[in-house]
Amino acid sequence: MASATTDQPLRTTPLRVWAGGRLHDDPEQAVVAVTDHGLVVGDGVFEALKVTAAGPFALRRHLERLDRSAASLGLPPADHGVIRDAVAQLLEGQQVELGKIRITYTAGRGPLGSGAAYGPQTLVVALDAAEAPAPSTVVVTAPWTRNEHGALAGVKSTSYAENVRVLAHATERGASEGLMLNTAGHLCEGTGSNVFVVLDGRVVTPPLAAGALAGITRDLVLEWTDVEERDLTLEEALGADEVFLTSSLRDVQPVHRWDDTTFGDHPVTDAVARTFAERSAADLEP
């Protein structure tokens, strides 16, 4: 694809897809086999990261987590060079104020069942527009638990039907996120976010042993601010002074209502959000 020139303004494309080793101007042309194990049984992993006019954020960390998730499913590491080249092709000539890059990596072709895939692995990289997060949000407690001892605990797998169901439950109740407890009754995570609470001025978040995904934004908040990791009961969390969510597209987002509990001012959350905004703007690969 030719680079944009000064007499040809940059164009914004809602959805662009790289698959099968090449860029597809028409996303409908990008296909995978009906026997792909990512489709048949969810045998795959993925990453979703924010992209702005400055470029993709924390791509290295996302690729490293992609490999950790792949290893959990017995898949070989993805080719980071190929993915980076795909990202560059997707972004070439595009004017992206706020977007999302999704990297999907599956076991490839396999049987119509849970037996081992034949391969080779499938790689799809897509660029889409994204909406800025609301200043604050509403969450609900999910009626289902997260199994912190399961084979997919902490894995960003394409087996996402459970999260789809929880998020639908939250949406039906006017919330943007459903928060799950684990089998021990401790707070775990949201469908696509990590959760933090502020207790007497101290920021606390569930440990990864509770079953939560090691979110990239979560990791950076832990590195850049003072956070305690420990188990939290639902009662303790609902009694917090402040609650906030983190994710690659939410960044640091205050919660103003959780079930029937409302939260007012959030000075500690605001301070964490400022630190994250400043540090992330200063370095695209922290």
Domain ranges of the chain: 15-129, 137-282
CATH number of 137-282: 3.20.10.10
Which secondary structure element, helix H or strand E, spans residue 255, and what is its range? strand 251-258
Q: Average pLDDT for consecutive 10-residue bins of the chain (286 residues)?
A: 37 78 91 96 98 97 98 98 98 94 98 96 97 97 98 96 98 98 98 98 98 98 98 98 98 98 98 98 98
Collapsing DSSP to helix, strand or coil, 108 comes out as: coil
CA 47, 190, 162, 180 torsion: positive or negative?
positive
Q: Do domains 15-129 and 137-282 have the same CATH topology?
A: no
pLDDT, position 231: 98
pLDDT, position 3: 34
pLDDT, position 112: 96
From the number of C-beta atoms within 10 Å of its C-beta (0-12, 13-18, 19+), residue 97 rates as: exposed
pLDDT, position 106: 98
pLDDT, position 5: 34
pLDDT, position 159: 96
Q: Taking the model in full, what pTM does it have? A: 0.93
Q: Which two tokens stand for residue 227?
A: 């956070």
pLDDT, position 25: 81
From the candidate CATH numbers 3.40.50.1970, 3.30.470.10, 3.40.50.880, 3.90.25.10, the one assigned to the domain spanning 15-129: 3.30.470.10
**Cβ pair 216, 59 in contact under 8 A:** no
